Structure 1
Amino acid sequence: MPHFIIEYTPNLRDLPLDAMLSAVAHRLAGSPHVQDEADLKGRAVRADAFRVGLSDQRGFIHVTVRILAGRSSAAKQDFSQRVVEGMLEHMPAFDASLTVHLSVEVVDMDRESYRKVRLSPAAKDR
């Protein structure tokens, strides 16, 4: 925790997803609200079927940050700001005919039902 999921539309060609994932992870790891960088889990998912309004000349990048419930509004704002900064750090220039929407949402996960088990035998990962 936190988990962050980058969803993007396929008309956004040449997104540097590895660099974006790394930048977001590094920024989140620097938050006072993250205790262990090994708990950060990021992934990118392409939204093959999508729609942005009524135009075909739009795309989006939406980042969902999933955190255990109970964090303050300030912590959630810190997470969303760090994600935006990390994403913009590696944002390419898009075709002038394409409008791109970047959004971030911080979502609470239920503490009572969330489970995590580390399966690595290395002592440093426990």
Structure 2
Amino acid sequence: MPHFVIECSKNITELVEETELNLAVHQVAAASELFTLGDIKVRTNSYSTYLVGGTETGSFIHVFANIMQGRTVEQKAALSKTVVERLTELLPSVSNIAMNVNDFEKASYCNKAML
């Protein structure tokens, strides 16, 4: 925990390597000091078919962050803003860059280490 899933149009991965996208988001998450470094997970899913504004010609990046509950709205907003700023620096020609943060409920979360 946390999980950062980068979803993007396929042409994004032609502009920058997936590993570079993952590293950029990982570095922002680590710098936020909201998470334990070894717990941060980042991955990218790119799509060859998609619509942006009703056409397949646009580019997009959307980061979905799933984190354990307990952070303030201000902390989550700052995290989103900083990730979007970093991705904008990395890909200034991409106009559709966004992020949202979803909370996991501590009471219903389980992983293998908890068994």
TM-score (norm 1): 0.76
Q: Which runs of 4+ in 1 moved over 4 A?
A: none
Q: Is the 8 A contact 2:5 2:64 kept in 1?
A: yes
Q: CA deviation at 1:37?
A: 0.3
Aligned pair count reads 112
Question: Gapped runs of 5+ residues in structure 2?
Answer: none
- Match in the other structure for 2:49: 49
Q: CA deviation at 1:23?
A: 1.8
What RMSD in Å do the two structures reach over aligned CA positions? 2.0
- Match in the other structure for 1:123: none
- Match in the other structure for 1:38: 38
Greater fraction of residues in helix: 2
TM-score (norm 2): 0.82
Match of 1:112, SS?
helix
- Paired with 2:111 and 2:49, the residues of 1 have a C-alpha distance of 31
Q: Is the 8 A contact 2:8 2:59 kept in 1?
A: yes
- Paired with 1:51 and 1:106, the residues of 2 have a C-alpha distance of 23
Counterpart code for 1:67: I
